[in-house]
Chain A
Amino acid sequence: MTLPQIVFLVMAVFALVFAGLTVTVRNVVHSIVCLICCLLFIAGIYISFHADFIAAAQIAIYVGAIAILILFATMFTHDPTGDKLSHLNRQSILGVFVALALFGSIVYFFIGTNKFDQNQTKDSPMMAIKPINFVELREYNEKGETSVKVIGDILYGKKGKQAGYAIPVEMASFMLLAAIIGGIEMAKKKEDEV
């Protein structure tokens, strides 16, 4: 077992422990802190799998924006009944069993398939599907470039070629704009309220 594998296993175990704490601790603010730790360990796992841009986006967007937004919303919406009651609902035992059954079935199908085995990548049917702008990652890695340039080439298209996923990127930006407007509209105080 090499050192990167040990680091990956340690980070995976910590991510799972903090994810478990996120759904089990009683205090909501403690739960958010555990969620932030879990997201940071997942970002470390992304780095160990050569997805450095995704790791940076994970830290900037999930930890920096989404978790802090959830923290603010928690502080805006203090639920006085939640202090006395349990944080679990009536169907909690059944919910745990459903989640365990789901995990068991997913792992069963992962073990049953061998499409993701690295030795068989060449023969995988997925390799036959070429994206619109097929970019050689190895070509960039030999030049010492990061995955940012690869992702940019795929999303916006290489120079002189047809644009790759430019229209979906624009649709994502419109979706975010609509989400901002909808969030402001739903959360703002109406005129007839005090």
Chain B
Amino acid sequence: MTDTYLLLILGAALFCIGVMGALTLRNAIRILMCIELMLNGANVTLIAAASSMPETSGVGQSMVVFAIAVAAAETVIGLGAIVAMYRAKGWVTLEKFNLMKW
């Protein structure tokens, strides 16, 4: 059991904690935070894969830079959508939103 395995399991645990929160919480902003946790788990997994191959470690790390950029864009769009939903309805409880359901 090397350090790389421990880091991979940490990434999987962070991802699954994020999945648990995204499935169980009602507040839309908290679900967005759980998605941040899931993206962090993915980044930890990328760093684990990068550190297991020292010669090409920089490639994996530069992929994490792209992942962080995607996370920032996703947060901005998600929070914009949540603020727009709050303006329209007055609450951010995600269970009650069924505007685009059928």
Which chain A residues have a beta carbon within 8 Å of chain B's beta carbons? 5, 8-9, 12, 15-16, 19-20, 22-23, 28, 31-32, 35, 38-39, 42, 45-46, 49-51, 53-54, 57-58, 61-62, 65-66, 69-70, 73-74, 76-77, 79-82, 85-92, 94-96, 98-100, 102-103, 106-107, 110-111, 116-118, 121, 124, 126-127, 130-131, 134-138, 147, 150-151, 153-155, 165, 168, 172, 175-176, 178-180, 182-187, 189, 193
Contact = CB atoms under 8 A, between A and B. Distances in A.
Contacts of A189: 87
Contact of B68 (A49, A57, A135, A187): A57
A183 B77 contact: yes
Contacts of B66: 168, 172
Contacts of B73: 175-176, 178-179
SS of A interface (majority): helix
A178 B73 CA distance: 8
Contacts of B54: 121, 137-138
Interface in B14-43: 14-21, 23-27, 29-30, 32-34, 36-37, 40, 43
Given A8-B6, A98-B19, A110-B9, A76 B86 contact: yes
B16 to A, nearest CB: 4
Given A137-B58, A183-B80, 18 more contacts: A16-B14, A22-B34, A23-B21, A45-B10, A53-B61, A77-B86, A87-B25, A87-B27, A89-B25, A89-B95, A100-B16, A130-B56, A136-B55, A154-B62, A155-B65, A182-B76, A183-B77, A186-B81
A121 B62 contact: no
B57 A50 contact: yes
Contacts of B16: 99-100, 102-103, 106
A14 B68 CA distance: 22
